[in-house]
Amino acid sequence: MNASLAAKSTLPDEVPTGVVLRYGVGQLGAQVFRDTPAVLLPLFMTTMLGVPAWLAGLVVLLPKLWLIVCDPLVGAWSDRMKTAIGRTPFLIAGAVGTTLGFIALFAFTEYPSPYIAAAAICALFFLASTAFSIYSVPYLAIAAELSSDPHQRNRIMVLRMFFATLGVLVGVGLAQPVIEHFGGGAAGWHAMSWIFGGLCFASMLTTASGLRRVPLINAGAVPGSLIDQLRTVAANKPYLVLLATTFVSNTGQAASYTVIGFVFLYVVQAIWLIPIFILCMSAASLASQPLWLWLPKRIGKPRAYVLAAAIWAAVTITWLWVGKGGVDVATLPGGQPVNTQHLLILLRAMIIGAFNGGFILLALSMMTDTVDYQRRMQGVANEGVFAGLFSAMEKLAFALGPVIAGIVMSAFGFVSSTGGAAAQSESALTGIILLYSAIPASLQVIALLIFSRYRLPDA
């Protein structure tokens, strides 16, 4: 395993395409695990296990909160072990554990009571999430160890984002149809878990085995406890600026993701449009990846990041004027009319998808630059701690997003209901629209103000 660790000077400037592919494909399964349980577990628990909706939300939240602590710990652990065994054992163990955990989540549909079911699912999701942390944190750290060239690292991240977008399409777009194809009920859920679990295993293990003998930068690790390593991170000012930037940006995005269903149900009154919206957004994200490979070479990663985030914010604010009106222009095969408002929404989806994917991948790419900056300045690097803390703050932001959404919706008078959607006041609709427009756009502007302090020599 030590053969996979090589001195920086022995690495070629350009990472072979085969290596970039073997690295990127691991994100496909990782994204499926990230998205599918978050979307489907509440539905599975409330419709198959009889778990109350409030408890189902808590079951999903608690393991995610644990990861805020777990990710930096895993990063520090993998840093301590990298000179002895490399990061491959973490990837293999994480891939196996994530797969088994994913399948186990949907394996049982009969429990003595809904509360026992909730406890069991929470424990299984806790274990599966921990296994995923063991995979995902070293996986992100490796991106900073494959090349000392910032443009090569950006190339790696572009392909990683390509597979991440495919993972969103599969995990969010195909899970429910697969369940229905296999008859729904317990049989449908079991079939989905085995199919998607197998996809996670094949994808993640391909990366784990494919990178086993790939030379990595070996600059040693920062010695000492996790606290000592965090002090080293705290001295890296570019990293701290980037961390704060992405935290604020992700918090706004998380709040908006929480209410996407409410926007289409109550404001647009076209819930059927969501799958088409996601498809357009994902397709645009995939198509835009060459742009985010080319543009940073021309104007630099920081300027490309600002451009992508600013355009995203400008388009996001236009949701303030979204509505249910419009002139019919076409009819879908099922008889559903499509109007001009729907077309504008799909246009927004394509622009948002293209530029959202851009600033997300550039943030990750610049994170690897800050790790390389530490390596150049100090001669050592604790890539795992950097990756773990970055991942933890992302999870914290996406845990805070729903909290912010709940507070805003309650403040504007949103009325909860059982047995179907209840009529909402104009004030409640305003709160929903603000959460999908002005609030995330404003937080993105604040994030860009923070990012204006980002300075990284020779990056």
Secondary structure (DSSP) of 210-253: HTTTS-EE------S-HHHHHHHHHT-HHHHHHHHHHHHHHHHH
Q: Is the dihedral of CA 19, 24, 27, 29 positive or negative?
A: negative
- Which two tokens mark 404? 């912010």
The percentage of the chain sitting over the pLDDT mark of 70, rounded to a whole number, equals 93
- Which two tokens mark 310? 């600013």
Read off φ and ψ for residue 441, nearest 5 degrees: -65, -40
* Contacts with 46 (C-beta within 8 Å, 6 or more apart), sequence order: 52, 53, 56
d(CA 291, CA 304): 10
Pick from 78-92, 210-224, 243-257, 317-331: least confident: 210-224
d(CA 253, CA 207): 29
- As a whole number, mean pLDDT of residues 329-346 equals 82
pLDDT at position 9, please? 40
Is the pLDDT at 418 greater than 90? The verdict is no
Report the first-to-last Cα separation within the chain, whole angstroms.
31
DSSP assignment letter at 225: -
pLDDT at position 299, please? 96
- Which two tokens mark 164? 């991440």
d(CA 248, CA 442): 10
* CA atoms within a 13 Å half-sphere pointing along the CA-CB vector of 183: 5
Neighbours of 192 (CB within 10 A): 25
In this structure, are residues 207 and 142 in contact, taking their beta carbons and an 8 Å threshold? no
Q: The pTM is what?
A: 0.85
In this structure, are residues 162 and 354 in contact, taking their beta carbons and an 8 Å threshold? no
pLDDT at position 13, please? 66
In this structure, are residues 96 and 29 in contact, taking their beta carbons and an 8 Å threshold? no
pLDDT at position 8, please? 41
pLDDT at position 2, please? 36
- Which two tokens mark 406? 């709940």
Task: Give residue 115's pLDDT band: very low, low, confident or very high (50, 70, 90).
Answer: very high
- As a whole number, mean pLDDT of residues 109-113 equals 90
CA nearest 456: which of 327, 318, 300? 300
Which residue is listed with tokens 């984002």? 161
Highest mean pLDDT among 51-65, 122-136, 160-174: 122-136
Strand, coil or helix: 330: strand
Is the pLDDT at 5 greater than 70? The verdict is no
DSSP assignment letter at 339: E
pLDDT in tens, 285-314: 999 999 999 999 999 999 999 999 999 999
Strand, coil or helix: 51: coil
For 97-161, the three-class secondary structure string (H helix, E strand, C coil) is HHHHHHHHHCCCCCCCCHHHHHHHHHHHHHHHHHHHHHHHHHHHHHHCCCCCCHHHHHHHHHHHH
Q: Which helix (H) or strand (E) holds 13?
A: none
Average pLDDT, the chain: 88
DSSP strands (E only) in 223-374: 328-331, 337-339
Strand, coil or helix: 65: helix
